[in-house]
Each structure stands twice: as structure tokens, then as C-alpha cells.
A and B are shown apart, each in its own frame.
Chain A
């Protein structure tokens, strides 16, 4: 459904993406993982048509992305960004209805209302529907935007969902519920690409993982194929123990943690100057 060839993005002499290639088929949930600043959000923005690549090519349903008009894209691709500041006092239901804007001209139809009701229900926000969105907590607001983004392609089983850290503010129940929704939609034909930070969440729900670092794609494969200690260290510079969860039979990683002494990085605490603290920070 989406194919990316040799994608490079450079802005002000900084190369944020270097020759990234992959493709995601219809019915696939792919999680994008990587260190901070690895280029994950940039990739989502390029795929959503928000930014133009410096070189390389993105195809959606075999047609070059730049050949779509914004409206043509909006009816089959929905993007959930990281920023969610609503500037005016819209109610939750009004914000979710904005996801239907590409589908009607002046007045929402019955199907649009039904979509809004269903997405609000599945995101657990029906109770807040008439409240101003600004009065909700961060995680609740994120669920409202999730409902809005889902509403945009709710009736398009060939739709594409591009999610940039969709669960960053949510509690553990809704983190799982969100991923379960995305997985269920993917299983019915949607193409889903989501940036996540929780490797275990990704490993539990995604069909496939893409690991990125410094603008490059380092690893690409199913969780059991690519989640091993060496790959995790190469991306996150962290030691971890990888197991198969005996209950879920999913790959789990157990980070081994770090240990620091305050005087190693704060010269005001203690006698030792803060040098070489990087050397022995990993306990093992």
C-alpha cells in the first residue's frame, strides 16, 4: 500500500533521513521504533504529505504521493501528530467531527454522526462528548484526537493510518486498547504505521518492527526476528535481556537498567570530578 524508496530528507544542511526504503502492505501494523532524533516523526510527516522529500519516492497505492490533492489524501489517510493544542474552546464531539470534514461539504450526514459515535465509544470518551476539550487531561485529550483520526478513515477499509506516538500520554489500559484497535483495523485491511517508544507494546501488537537510528533504517522484521540483545544495543545503546513471555508467547525485552553516582555528573556533589562517567554506567 505504501512503498518508500531511497527516501532522503535534508533541511538546513542537516540530513534527518538517509536513503530509507521499505514498504508496508495492506493489512499490516508496523511499529517504528528508534532513539530520540532518529527521524521517526520526519518519516511520518513525509508519508503524510506534510513535508516534501529531498530525494527518493513515496508511493501510496502505486501512485506517487505528490500526485494526490490534499483532499484525495485526506479521505484515505489519517495522521495523528504529536502536537495537540486546540486553540479554541471546541467540545470533544466537535473535535472528533473534524475528522469527518473531508467527507462532507456543508452538513454531516447520518453516517458521519454514526462514525463519530463509534470512534468516541471505542476510545472511551463518550462520557466527555459535550465537554470542552481544553478541560480534559492530557491523556484524555490524546484519546479525543485518536478518535478524530480514526473517524477520518473509519469507513475506508483500504485506509492508511500514520500515528506519531499515539499513546505517549495514555495510561496503560488505553495504551493497550489503542494498539488493540490499530491491530484490529490492520487485520481488516488498514495499513498502519505507528511510532512507539515502548518496545514491548510494539512487540506485542505489531506484525513488523522497523528500528531506526540517525536517520537510517537499521533493522526491519517481525519482533521475534529482530528483537535481540545486539540489535537493541545498536539502536538504543542499552543492555537488555530478551525473553519470550511464557503467557503471551510474545517477545519481551527486559532492560537491564543503568546505575549512576550523582557526583559522576554533578561537580557540586562530592569530591570526584565528573569525568569518564560514561565508562561504567551499565550494571550487569
Chain B
């Protein structure tokens, strides 16, 4: 109990960083090894080391290295980027909303993306052929990203009071826009045929199946920007816990902070959703898990939520691929099935501590 231990890394936070990092490395190696075609872990490790110029002389089955290089590695990297984006954005959104029930979806990101995605899936062949010719394979991702951006922009605009975003108005506007987009998505689902309906449903449950190095490269700048950008705001985000006025009195500019958080979260989550579909749970519960493990200081919560988000999604994707071989389950189902009991376990274990 020394003052040196507050704010900066405590033993508790270091332990949780190191544990999560080790688990993450393990999860990535396992997710490269396990799957429809099992690859021995030794070959996975050698193949990874060869990518950084080590063990060049050790021979690895070409089929194995091909599967790793072209299929599993981009998918694993995609999982890391998307999971980290969802986790860190969720933590930051909860901080500016001063509400533990907030998550990136609350500002309309997911609902807007779903609506446009459903629209494109159902009517691409009939109404949007021109776009389809122009953007080809990327049309769905681009459309979902625009939908995410547009919905968030709308929520943000509605929430402005005297030119400043008003948080409780934003919460209500978000709920309204979510309901509206949900209704429209429902309408499209109703109009869609069997096959399209299946595609829409699967898209809304999320999947890393579309991962390739191209999609990873498109996603990378958004994720990196957010993962570096949000932790720079951890001091003002801590001050937000006292209230916006108090943050202002401590010399911060709350309006600027809110704008930046919403912008960065929308970029990362919008881009992630565009590539993978909706992946629930991580943005909401990962930051809570992190706070229970190591406290509420955002200097820890933000990076640790990125780490735990990446870990959760990697494990979830691994399970999604292997539990029902040769079929693949939607990842949203796994994140909720896997995460909820774990989260409830921590919640029940720490219940007494929270109340007293």
C-alpha cells in the first residue's frame, strides 16, 4: 500500500498484463495449429519463426506453411485487431458515458452497419449493380463501414446542445437510432429470400472467415490509430468519472475528449464490423472484467481491454472453428456462450467486494 503503487503499474496490473500476454501467445499458436487440418505445434512455431528470418534451414511441409501463411495467420491477426478494437473502444465509451452498460453499439455503430449490410445483401443484385461493379468484393465492407459512420454521425448530431455533445441525449438518441435501424433491418430480412436471410443472419452473428492479408491491411490503420490514440486520453477519461464539469475544472476539454473518443471508436469498431459482421459481448463485458482484475484507472483499463479483447476473440474464433468440425459456428454465439459464464463467475466471486 504505497503511493508508488497507485496510478502507475501495480503488481496486480503487471501480473494481469503478463498473464494475458502469455495466454494470447498460446491462443494464437493453438489457433494456427488446430482446425479442419491439424498442423503440429512444432511446425507452427518454426513456420512463424521463419517469417521473421529464423530457422530458415528447417523444412516445414509446404502445405502446412501455405495454410498458415494464407489462411490461418491473416485470420488470427484479424482476430487480434478486431478483438482489441472492440475491447478498447468499449472501455473508452463506458468512460465518457459514465455508464457501465455503455458499449460501442450504443452510439449506433453496429445497428447502422447491420442495416446497410442487410440492404446490400438483399438488394445488391437488383438495386446496387452499379456499386457492385465499382467496388466488387469490398462493397459489403465499405457499405457497412459507411452505415456505421452515418448512424454514429446522426446520433452525434442529434445529441448536440449549444454545439456540444450532451451525453444523456446521446444515450437516448443512440437507443432511438438503434431501434430505427433494427426495424429497417428487420423489414429487409422480411423481404429477403431464404438464402439472403441466412447470409444476413450469419453476418449479424459475426465471423472471421472473410480474413485475408488484404482485409488485414485495410483494417490495420484504423485499429492502430485507435489503440494508440485512446490510451493517450486516459487521464481525461479518468477525470470524466468525477463528471464532465469536474474534468473541465481539472483543465481538460470535455467536448474535445468526447469527440475524439467517438471518432476513434467509430473508426475502429466500424472498420471491424465491416470486415467481420457484428461481434457482441466483447465491447461491453471485457472492460468490466479488466476493472475487476486490476482497478478502474484507464491508464490500465484501456490497454488491458485491448489485450483481453484480442485474447477473447482469438479463443472464441478457435472454438468457433473446432467445436463443430467441419462446420464453423458464428463467432458471436461463441463470445457470448464462452464469455458470459466466465464473467458471471468473476461477478459472483467479487460480489461481496463490490458491495462493501
- The answer to whether A70 touches B242 (Cβ under 8 A) is no
Q: Flag if A91 contacts B295 (CB, 8 Å).
A: yes
- B260 shortest CB reach to chain A, Å: 16
Judge whether B3 and A113 touch: CB under 8 Å.
yes
Whether A50 lies near B297 (C-beta < 8 A) is no
B150 within 8 A of A: no
Interface size of B by CB at 8 A reads: 31
In the complex where A91-B6, A135-B356 touch, is A98 in contact with B242 (Cβ < 8 A)?
yes
Contact (Cβ within 8 A) B4 A113: yes
Query: Nearest residue in B to A86 (C-beta to C-beta)?
Result: B241
Is there an interface contact between A88 and B253, defined as CB atoms closer than 8 Å?
no
Query: Do the beta carbons of A90 and B356 come within 8 Å of each other?
Result: no
The residue from B3, B241, B248 contacting A90, defined by CB atoms under 8 A apart: B241
Query: Does B243 sit within 8 A of A, measured CB to CB?
Result: yes
A73 interface contact, C-beta 8 A? yes
Nearest Cβ on chain B to A151's Cβ, whole angstroms:
11
Q: Are B252 and A70 neighbours in the complex by a CB distance under 8 Å?
A: yes
Q: Mark B144-174, 1 if CB is under 8 A from A, else 0.
A: 0000000000000000000000000000000
Determine which of A85, A102, A108, A117 lies in contact with B250 in the assembled complex, contact meaning CB atoms within 8 Å.
Answer: A102
- Report the bound CA distance from A85 to B78 in whole Å: 39
Given contacts A87-B241, A90-B296, A102-B251, contact A116 B235 (CB under 8 A): no
Q: Do residues A73 and B7 form an inter-chain contact, with CB atoms below 8 A?
A: no
- A166 touches B (CB below 8 Å): no
State whether A88 touches B3 (Cβ < 8 A).
Answer: no
Q: Which residues of B contact A75 (CB under 8 A)?
A: 251
**A98 and B248 form a contact (CB under 8 A):** no
Quote the shortest CB–CB distance from A202 to chain B (angstroms).
24
CB of A98 within 8 A of CB of B239, answer yes
The answer to whether A87 and B99 have CB atoms under 8 Å apart is: yes
**B278 interface residue, CB < 8 Å from A?**
no
**Cα A75 to Cα B249 with chains together (Å):** 10
Instruction: Say whether A101 contacts B296, CB under 8 Å.
Output: no
Q: Could you tell me the distance between the alpha carbons of A79 and B249 in the complex, rounded to whole angstroms?
A: 7
Q: How far is the CA of A88 from the CA of B253 in the complex (A)?
A: 20
Residues of B within 8 A of A83 (CB): 243, 245
Interchain nearest-CB distance for A94 vs B (Å): 6
Say whether B238 faces chain A, with CB atoms less than 8 Å apart: yes
User: In angstroms, how far is the closest chain B Cβ from the Cβ of A232?
Assistant: 32
Bound-state Cα–Cα, A250 to B239, Å = 40
Beta-carbon nearest neighbor of B94 in chain A = A88
Bound together, the chains give a CA A152 to CA B240 distance in angstroms of 16
Residues facing B in A176-227 (CB within 8 A) are none
Q: CB within 8 Å of B: which residues of A?
A: 48-50, 69-75, 78-79, 81, 83-91, 93-95, 97-99, 101-102, 107-108, 113, 116-117, 129-130, 135, 152
Task: Please list the residues of chain B having a beta carbon within 8 angstroms of any beta carbon in chain A.
Answer: 1, 3-4, 6-8, 95, 98-100, 235, 238-243, 245-246, 248-253, 291, 295-297, 354, 356
A-B contact pairs, 17 of them (CB 8 A): A69-B251, A70-B249, A75-B251, A79-B249, A81-B246, A83-B245, A88-B95, A90-B241, A90-B296, A94-B6, A94-B238, A98-B242, A98-B250, A101-B238, A101-B251, A107-B7, A152-B250
